[in-house]
A and B are shown apart, each in its own frame.
Chain A
Amino acid sequence: MNSGTQNAVAGFPALKEEGGLKAPGLGKPLIFVGSVLVVLVCLFPFWWMALSSIKTLRELYTIPPIWWPESPTLGNYYKVLFESNIPRYFLNSVVISVGSTGLALVLAIFASYGFARFDFKGKPLLQACVLIGQLLPTAAIIVPLFVTLRVLGLVNTYWGLILVYMIITLPLSVWMLTSYFKAIPVELEEAAIIDGASRLGVLFRVTLPLSIPGIVAVIVYAFVTTWNEFIFALCFATDSSVKTLPIGLAEFSTEFNTDWGAVMAASVIMTLPIALLFLSMQRLFVGGLTAGATKG
């Protein structure tokens, strides 16, 4: 049911068949060189990060640098996992990211449904306000946010960061889901309403099941954004019981004598979940993100 709409929104834009006249394209060699260059530029830092994370101290600090470690070691990972705060920060990051993603999703579902299916006074203005939220320079509000959180007693708590992350994730989530809901034929809902379903019943039984790709896109976006977020965490989580991974990594690398092996190991640990999540979901995610751009 309705799978045509879903695929068009969720997947990558369909690849175009070149029909009729011969399409002039880039020459094969140029495409090859370009692709190799792009792949190298994008991947080399990760290759070097992974390689550095299994080098011993002696191999890290040699001139010229060694391409292949002769005695690969897991010592850096051991140090990060058992002799640092990183596991605790990992847990904090998971709690905060999951919490704020869930909250943003619930709020965004209701708000997007309201924007997509109802007409009410001031709707264009409110929609504009939500988008402006996305355009806000966050640095300009860290001070008053800090004061507000302090008054509420939320500095150095999970709830503080979970709430603050709404600023970053909610506006774009609402935007993405609104355009997704709009693409679902309203007739389906009307049929359910005639059958006696309530508004909420329609939302949860008809619209949401049809919107799974859009919802996954929002989840990936919100999770990745909060997992990676740095500056709010730096300001509002100064106690190690709530610090997130990015802060932990920054602490590692800014001490006078940086232990680069451990830093690289911690970087690998921090990158893996996000890379796996993203690569497995990227079709949905990119589709959800670009749907709005090409229609606007």
Chain B
Amino acid sequence: MYRPSTGLLFVLPALIVLAMLIAYPVAYTGLLSVTDGQGNFVGMSNFAKVLSARATPQAFWNTVYWVVGSIVFQVILGTATAVLLNQTFAGRAIVRSITLIPWVVPGIVAATTWAWMFHTEFGIINYMLTGPGIIDQPIGWLTNRDTVMPVLIAINVWKLFPFVAIMVLAGLQSIPNDLYEAARVDGANFWEEVRYVMLPQVRPVIVAVTLLLVIWGLNSITIIYAITRGGPANRTLITPIQIFRIAFENVQFNQAAALSVMFFAVAIAIVFVYIKALASQPREAR
């Protein structure tokens, strides 16, 4: 009773909008990257210029540091929180709601609030650490080259671990009860249950969430841009911010496009390898 063309008609408006906003710009980036400001074909010279800039490799490694550092802690803390919230205790619903708050608030609000808390002179964090003598003098968290990236990663972890927690929690709650019972018959204690029942069962959720976190990590400009704009001394410059700088501060659209093409290729490669690795994994027996 369903005619094939009707379905396509329903889907078409959304697809046209997405094609206009995604497919066309992606293709256009390719064109921009091999032309100059007047539209003349210039071959690979934009790529050469971008690659010879000192900031480019630095931004690349900063991006890797930022994404990997964020994800490791987001997944560990998020999963731990999910295991905690999977316990039955009074007030659990309230704790669960509160956990979600960091994820929902605007990234820019998180950035400014944490920037104020990490303020060198008047920040509450330096005060809390100097008080009991954990550090002897205030640290310039956001101006010191060695502390700035870890601090930004910590803020990013704070912002997104709730998302991991809620997704993993949903996975935990869909585990069939007989798996727990089988483990209990075998005399498993709590940590063995976590190790042999919960973690294997939620692995697909964690894997899917990790992919989303990689994408979000590659896209996340807000926190870094709002707090440091890539400084000090390019220590927190990640590739998306470099693209933004080249395009809108140096107004070199063609070089920015060249960098975009490379960034895009790397991102797609990561997603592809990841999905491929997913597909080849043996399915968990249920």
List residues of chain B with CB within 8 A of the CB of A12: 170, 173
List residues of chain A with CB within 8 A of the CB of B271: 135
Contact status B170-A294, CB under 8 Å: yes
List residues of chain A with CB within 8 A of the CB of B29: 140-141, 143-144
List residues of chain A with CB within 8 A of the CB of B13: 107, 110-111
Complex interface bits, B77-95 against A, C-beta within 8 A gives 1, otherwise 0: 0000101100111010001
| B41 close to A (CB within 8 Å) | no
List residues of chain A with CB within 8 A of the CB of B114: 45
Q: Complex formed: what's the CA distance from A289 to B103 in Å?
A: 14
CB distance from B130 to the nearest CB of A (A): 9
| B106 close to A (CB within 8 Å) | yes
Contact of B25 among A114, A119, A145, A246 (CB under 8 A): A145
Classify the interface of chain B: helix, strand, loop or mixed: helix
| A191 close to B (CB within 8 Å) | no
Q: Complex formed: what's the CA distance from A148 to B118 in Å?
A: 40
Contact of B106 among A26, A42, A231, A270 (CB under 8 A): A270
Complex interface bits, A112-128 against B, C-beta within 8 A gives 1, otherwise 0: 01110111110100100
| B9 close to A (CB within 8 Å) | yes
Complex interface bits, B240-284 against A, C-beta within 8 A gives 1, otherwise 0: 100110011000010011001101100100010000000000000
Q: Complex formed: what's the CA distance from A212 to B22 in Å?
A: 29
Interface size on A (CB < 8 Å)?
108
Contact status B22-A141, CB under 8 Å: yes
List residues of chain A with CB within 8 A of the CB of B91: 35
Q: Which of A1-51 contact B (CB under 8 A)?
A: 12-16, 18-26, 28, 31-32, 34-35, 38-39, 41-43, 45-46, 48-49
Contact of A126 among B15, B109, B184, B248 (CB under 8 A): B15
List residues of chain B with CB within 8 A of the CB of A148: 24-25, 28
Q: Complex formed: what's the CA distance from A147 to B21 in Å?
A: 12
| B222 close to A (CB within 8 Å) | yes
20 sampled A-B residue pairs with Cβ under 8 A: A13-B170, A38-B95, A39-B95, A46-B113, A48-B116, A48-B124, A63-B121, A111-B10, A114-B7, A135-B215, A137-B263, A139-B260, A166-B18, A167-B21, A230-B108, A230-B222, A231-B221, A235-B248, A264-B112, A267-B109
Shortest beta-carbon contacts, A-B, top 4: A118-B7, A114-B10, A139-B240, A290-B170
Given contacts A136-B26, A231-B219, A274-B105, 9 further A-B contacts (CB under 8 A): A35-B95, A46-B101, A48-B113, A115-B11, A141-B25, A230-B106, A230-B222, A275-B101, A290-B167
